[in-house]
Structure 1
Amino acid sequence: MSAGRASAATAARLVVRTVAVDENEPLIPRTDPRNPLVWMRRGEGIVGLGEVLRIESSGRTRIEDAAAAWTELASRADVDDRVGLPGTGLIAFGTFAFAASSAATSVLIVPELVLGRRDGRAWVTRITLVTGDDESADASDDTADPTIPEPAPKRKVPRVAFAPGSLPPGAYESAVAEAIRRIDAGELQKVVLARQLVGQLADEAGLRATIRQLAEDYPDTWVFAVDGLIGASPETLVRVDHGQVSARVLAGTAARGAGEASDRDRAAALQRSPKDLAEHALAVASAVKRLAPHTARLDTSPEPFTLQLPNLWHLATDLKGVLGDGSSALDLVRAVHPTAAVAGTPRRTAIATLAELEGFDRRRYAGPVGWVDGDGDGEWAIALRCAQVDGDGTVTAYAGCGIVHDSVPADELAETEMKFRPIVEAFGG
């Protein structure tokens, strides 16, 4: 429902029916291989098929414009939800551009069919668009049994040969060195600098295999696919569920060790690292500052803990609280994005600095990605460990690092290589 589609959707009404099903098959093999809609973690989540409508937005007010359009659309929806779990009823998958100046479109997509699983229960949601006097779809029609697609057979992941994008390794190290100079000059405290890898996908039908690979290799992350953006993010931007709010802040990274003893040592060294602890503290302070005004109570982990992923360690802090002002998930997404974990501190200076030193449009990388329901609840991650797949088959992968006073350019470059691994390997690299 971009500006060009607003008139049709304004008169539209969504009819939504969610029913429980007895289903144990994995969800990802059922998703559309060319236009996948996926939100999964530890084998649970939702996948969408088809598209009823989309809400498109851009610019500085892209998140609030989408939130307002979604609230209006949801207020007119006819919902019959017989399961009542997070992810049931009216759902939209979403992805937002990182920057207001981005050429990338931000979008909420309402699918025709949603397959979901959570807490040992499975469901199917059918969503129909009714316009004008068309009453052919009715949520009270109990005779209509949604057809669940059969899971596709497992196939090999498509092979994509990646090459450096517009900021090759040497230029990236130079950008990091310039960022450190500006930090030492007192212009800012932290900036997150990213770089790209670019490749070509010959077989779009292989995207389902790529997503499945990410889910198998990184089960503790949010595995997502929305409008060509595919990834496995370890960082929860914000989650809202019946007045409860939570988030997970990640900043500070170390490679995994070669053996068990070495691995323990690296995790322990990360927890003691002044550089990583300082970087992490800035990210946590940013998240608390943005969330606190919307909560009646907000608690954080007593100290950062180490989060183990297959290829690296992160310093992590969990935030949990109770909403105090009735904000929706999208309201909180707008409040907290972009966090210091993906932009820097102070925010405005960091955004201007990274745009100058990176020299490319991040598009949806490091932006919010997730889902929202008709009540405004939802789960949103930061789009990390990800790639955007364009209609012409171009695949652009992204990875970035937080630059602070003690950063070393060569070390930051090596860290981006670690962070590229999940998406590069998921494309057969």
Structure 2
Amino acid sequence: MIETKEEVLESVLNRAINKAEKEKRKQLVSVTKKIEAVDPLHFFEAAKQLGKNRSFWSSTAEDFFMVGVGATYKIEATDNRFKETNEQWQRVKQQAIIHNPYEKPGTGLVAMGGMAFDPDKARTLLWDNFSDSEFTVAAYMLTKHEDEYYLTMNVHVSENDRTSDLTNQLNKKVETLLGNDVNIPTNTVILDKYEIEPDKWKQTVQFATEQIKTSEVEKIVLSRELRVKLNRKAQISTVLHDLLETQTNSFVFAFERGEDCFVGATPERLIKIQEDHLLSTCLAGTAPRGNTLSEDKLLADNLLEDDKNRSEHDFVVKMIEEAISPYCSTINVPREPIIYPLKNLQHLYTPVTAIVSPDVNMFDIIKQLHPTPALGGVPREKSLQFIREHELLDRGWYGAPVGWLDHNNNGEFAVAIRSGLIQGDEASLFAGCGVVRDSDPEEEYEETNIKLLPMLTVLGG
């Protein structure tokens, strides 16, 4: 006899209730089923009706989407955050009852979230709703993988719960999420922009070049903030829609915390692990796109031959190789970078691949990779110390690892650049650049202006 999806759900819930009764504690249960096609953005927009925080992740080049709604379980860590986050995640996996017959990456029990760039930097109220490390197991998750769609329900059950009641509650929420009566709202318009101390930022760039010339520091990455005022409250589904349309070859993400939402479209993958295969990419060295094919090619050729950009790029490639070598075998690093084109920018790009050792967890490698020289500097600790003392903003989750991991040790994290923190009808946008000994403050300032364009555009600027 073949069980129906309803019978499978009831059977798993029954097992979880029995276990909760036996162990006298709540039991986390995760059930995944295959569903008909549904637009991830419609699912995300429909989730507003449930009044829960939402998470969104897409690898646009691979047509891979994940949408999380609510938080059945939350992992937070401050002290020794990489180790503590991993230990909590391992405990969650061990204790959960997981029914997932498909075993596709991003299905089953999944944690989505991110970390602060530097927990040792003084915090500000801007990032008050975001922890140093925070990952959630969503109550409901939609996963699109290779043109197939999966819905995962995660719920805590207790010994006093009734299977029929739980089933009805879950199905009612799912019906809301899969409903077709939602529309993506119209875009906002930027009414005003306020740069946070641009002249002082340029002075900091100049000071950094002087420090580099008289010390062993080779590179310091400095970021700045642009605050914008909108004509009305931003709708995150609209922002995501426009990022997906305009920022191909990027990771589009959103992490909602109450009225705040950290959202962006980053081209920079930090790490991907699928089965035992690792991929990390270096995306360092930047030039604008041209208005014609010939101008575009000229800019690309100049980027490939530019000593400053090639030096920055090589810093990151060497760091990635050194960082992953204790955890991997068969590491492959191309000898030369290629051009990675985006809508507004083009970058130098080098993919690094390897085989991961069986006993390695993703957070061990993330700890070694973050921050890359493209976001911190060289050497790491001395450049970070300069940033802590002199940078004019609290980066929060900007420039930090954001992503997901599942119970089968698959996962993917990106570096959260080309991003902004949306707060109702206002937003803070962030951009940075790598400062070396011959950097010109005005040129670095103009580079950050280019990097701000993707978020400015989708907010109606």
Matches within 5 A, 1:40-51: 40-42=58-60, 43-51=63-71
- Aligned letter for 1:215? L
Structure number with the higher helix fraction is 2
2:161 paired with 1:129: no
TM-score with structure 2 setting the length:
0.84
- Residue number in structure 1 paired with 2:40: 27
2: CA distance, partners of 1:142 / 1:88: 22
Choose from 66, 73, 91 the match for 1:72.
91
2:356 paired with 1:323: yes
Q: Deviations over 1:289-312 (max 9, x none)?
A: 111111022111221111000001
2:226 paired with 1:197: yes
1:243 deviates by 1.4
1: CA distance, partners of 2:283 / 2:112: 23
Choose from 32, 36, 59 the match for 1:18.
32
Unpaired runs of at least 5, structure 1: 1-9
1:162 deviates by 5.3
- Residue number in structure 2 paired with 1:346: 379
* More displaced stretch, 146-155 vs 191-200: 146-155
Choose from 131, 154, 160 the match for 2:184.
154
- Residue number in structure 2 paired with 1:212: 241
TM-score with structure 1 setting the length:
0.90
> Would you say the 8 A contact 1:214–1:231 is kept in 2?
yes
RMSD in angstroms over aligned alpha carbons? 2.4
Q: Deviations over 1:345-378 (max 9, x none)?
A: 0000010112222132111100110011123321
- Name the SS for the 2:291 alignment partner: coil
- Residue number in structure 1 paired with 2:311: 278
2: CA distance, partners of 1:376 / 1:71: 10
- Name the SS for the 1:176 alignment partner: helix
- Residue number in structure 2 paired with 1:357: 390
- Name the SS for the 2:185 alignment partner: coil
2: CA distance, partners of 1:270 / 1:410: 19
- Residue number in structure 2 paired with 1:56: 76
Choose from 425, 428, 448 the match for 1:416.
448
1:394 deviates by 4.4
- Name the SS for the 1:293 alignment partner: coil
Choose from 247, 265, 268 the match for 2:280.
247
Q: Check 1:406–1:242 CA distance in 2 against 1; reply closer, same or farther (3 A cut).
A: same
2: CA distance, partners of 1:251 / 1:159: 31
Choose from 32, 57, 61 the match for 1:39.
57
Query: Number of residues paired by the alignment?
Result: 414
- Residue number in structure 1 paired with 2:127: none
Q: Check 1:175–1:144 CA distance in 2 against 1; reply closer, same or farther (3 A cut).
A: closer
Matches within 5 A, 1:247-396: 247-390=280-423, 394-396=426-428
1:189 deviates by 0.5
2:193 paired with 1:163: yes
1: CA distance, partners of 2:283 / 2:408: 28
2: CA distance, partners of 1:47 / 1:78: 21
* More displaced stretch, 106-115 vs 192-201: 192-201
Q: Check 1:202–1:163 CA distance in 2 against 1; reply closer, same or farther (3 A cut).
A: closer
2: CA distance, partners of 1:75 / 1:16: 12
Q: Check 1:185–1:217 CA distance in 2 against 1; reply closer, same or farther (3 A cut).
A: same
- Name the SS for the 2:326 alignment partner: helix
1:204 deviates by 4.5
> Would you say the 8 A contact 1:386–1:423 is kept in 2?
yes
1: CA distance, partners of 2:169 / 2:186: 39
2: CA distance, partners of 1:427 / 1:57: 32
- Residue number in structure 1 paired with 2:142: 115
> Would you say the 8 A contact 1:190–1:404 is kept in 2?
yes
> Would you say the 8 A contact 2:201–2:392 is kept in 1?
no
- Residue number in structure 1 paired with 2:106: 87
- Aligned letter for 2:71? E
1:328 deviates by 2.0
2: CA distance, partners of 1:162 / 1:194: 21
2: CA distance, partners of 1:27 / 1:421: 25
> Would you say the 8 A contact 2:191–2:231 is kept in 1?
no
> Would you say the 8 A contact 2:248–2:342 is kept in 1?
no
2: CA distance, partners of 1:428 / 1:36: 23
Q: Check 1:142–1:17 CA distance in 2 against 1; reply closer, same or farther (3 A cut).
A: farther
- Residue number in structure 2 paired with 1:222: 251
> Would you say the 8 A contact 2:142–2:151 is kept in 1?
yes
